[in-house]
């Protein structure tokens, strides 16, 4: 065997594009960098908000209020249905979730959610559990272990007690009977036999006719 018989093992490789080999090759002269300027040099980088040197939009607009992006907690989420792949009676922790490929990173902690069905009894260790997830794990005969202190319930002030309504008397109770309790004035002014004005003995005199003599006057001598 000699060097003429040595042949390279055939491997599929893509040929590297060669630039700067003349204007006829399509990648000559500027080698794909375009004309002159900052972008024609090597090592140039631009941030996403760069606008050619003018004041970027993100710096022109006002910033008001509070943004929780820097302080929020990022959870690695695992559903109860994904826990069914572990053998019954085993204890599973965040490292087991990483090895099983359920999560790619622990982040700020692992939180178990209640989606899916769990038919095996497991001892699950995590930083947070949703109410439905905790109920499903306990229903399957498993156990829940908190790796961090269980969060306290948010303070919810009790609503004020409703105002006490005074008891109303029953219908007809406490009311005076008809014709009673009107008082002395009411009895005197009221019409009727009792408490009213005495009827006049003579009665009212009739009114004289218009333009005639009054009643009871002596007759005219001419008559």
pLDDT band at 104 (very low <50, low <70, confident <90, very high): very high
Does domain 76-146 fall into CATH 3.100.10.10? yes
pLDDT band at 97 (very low <50, low <70, confident <90, very high): very high
CB contact at 8 A, 91 and 125: yes
pLDDT band at 12 (very low <50, low <70, confident <90, very high): confident
CB contact at 8 A, 78 and 103: yes
pLDDT in tens, 44-74: 899 989 998 999 999 999 999 998 988 999 9
Burial class (CB in 10 A: 0-12, 13-18, 19+), 152: exposed
Backbone φ and ψ for 113, nearest 5 degrees, come out as -105, 165
Picking from 80, 118, 82, 78, the residue whose alpha carbon sits closest to that of residue 94 is: 78
Please determine, for residue 210, whether its predicted confidence score (pLDDT) is greater than 70. no
State how beta strands 110-113 and 76-79 pair: parallel
pTM score of the predicted model? 0.48
Residue 97 CA to residue 100 CA, distance in Å, equals 5
Question: Which H or E run contains 112?
Answer: strand 110-113
């Amino acid at each position: 065997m000699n060097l003429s018989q040595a042949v390279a093992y055939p491997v599929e490789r893509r040929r590297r594009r060669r630039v700067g080999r003349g204007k006829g090759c399509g990648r000559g002269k500027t080698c794909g960098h375009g004309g002159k300027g900052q972008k024609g040099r090597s090592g140039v980088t631009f941030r996403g908000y760069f606008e050619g040197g003018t004041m970027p939009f993100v710096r022109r607009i006002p910033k008001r209020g509070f943004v929780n992006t820097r302080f929020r907690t990022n959870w690695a989420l695992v559903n109860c249905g994904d826990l069914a792949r572990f053998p019954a009676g085993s204890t599973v922790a965040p490292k087991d979730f990483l090895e099983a490929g359920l999560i790619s990173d622990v982040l700020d902690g692992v939180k178990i959610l209640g989606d899916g069905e769990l038919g095996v009894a497991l001892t699950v260790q995590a930083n947070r559990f949703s109410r439905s997830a905790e109920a499903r794990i306990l229903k399957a005969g498993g156990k829940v272990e908190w790796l961090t202190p269980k969060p306290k319930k948010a303070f919810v002030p009790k609503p004020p007690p409703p105002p006490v309504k005074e008891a109303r008397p029953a219908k007809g109770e406490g009311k005076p009977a008809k014709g009673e309790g009107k008082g002395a004035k009411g009895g005197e002014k009221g019409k009727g036999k009792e408490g009213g004005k005495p009827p006049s003995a003579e009665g009212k005199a009739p009114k004289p006719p218009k333009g005639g003599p009054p009643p009871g006057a002596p007759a005219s001598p001419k008559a």
